[in-house]
Structure 1
Amino acid sequence: NLVPLLVPLFVSAFRRADELAMAMEARCYRGGYNRTKMRQAVITTADKVAYLLMILFLAGSIASRFIHILV
């Protein structure tokens, strides 16, 4: 009973794997050699200033809507 379900599943999985392999070859992917390393993100002072400015802008835009409604 499972054969009609499993055959299309495996066919699509192999087709997807083949397409992925061809795409990787087209982009000259070579595993392990000159791969990029994942780095830990560090929050700097510039990031904190940007967060503060965004929060102030958001608070100002919300406040201006309430002030506009009250007037």
Structure 2
Amino acid sequence: VLIPLFVASFRHAEELALAMECRCYHGGEGRTRMKQLHMSIVDLYGSIFCVLFLAGVIVINIVI
């Protein structure tokens, strides 16, 4: 099952690469970059909540 999937994937990648070369595609010229994400206070509170919740579940499973 996996062998035909890999063969089809490589064949598709080869065709796509050939099409991009024929159209003179140049990767990074004039493209925008990804926006850098920064951790905010809400993310910190969410992470702390998840860790405490997971610790609570583990403690309850050990005790009961």
Hey, what does 1:51 align to over in structure 2? 47
Hey, what does 2:15 align to over in structure 1? 18
Hey, what does 1:6 align to over in structure 2? none
Unaligned runs of 5+ in 1: 1-12
How do 1:1-71 and structure 2 match up within 5 A?
15=11, 16-20=13-17, 22=19, 32-33=29-30, 35-68=31-64
Question: How high is the TM-score relative to the length of structure 2?
Answer: 0.53
Percent identity, please.
Answer: 31
Residue 45 of structure 1 deviates from its aligned partner by 0.4
Please tell me the residue identity of whatever aligns with 2:43. Answer: D
The structure that has the greater radius of gyration is 1
What is the alpha-carbon distance in structure 2 between the residues aligned to residue 50 and residue 21 of structure 1?
46
Count of residue pairs the alignment pairs up? 49
What is the alpha-carbon distance in structure 2 between the residues aligned to residue 62 and residue 54 of structure 1?
12
Go from structure 1 to structure 2 and tell me whether the alpha carbon gap of 1:47 and 1:21 turns closer, same or farther (over 3 Å shift).
Answer: farther
What is the alpha-carbon distance in structure 2 between the residues aligned to residue 53 and residue 39 of structure 1?
26
Residue 55 of structure 1 deviates from its aligned partner by 0.4
Residue 58 of structure 1 deviates from its aligned partner by 0.4
Unaligned runs of 5+ in 2: 1-9
Question: How high is the TM-score relative to the length of structure 1?
Answer: 0.49
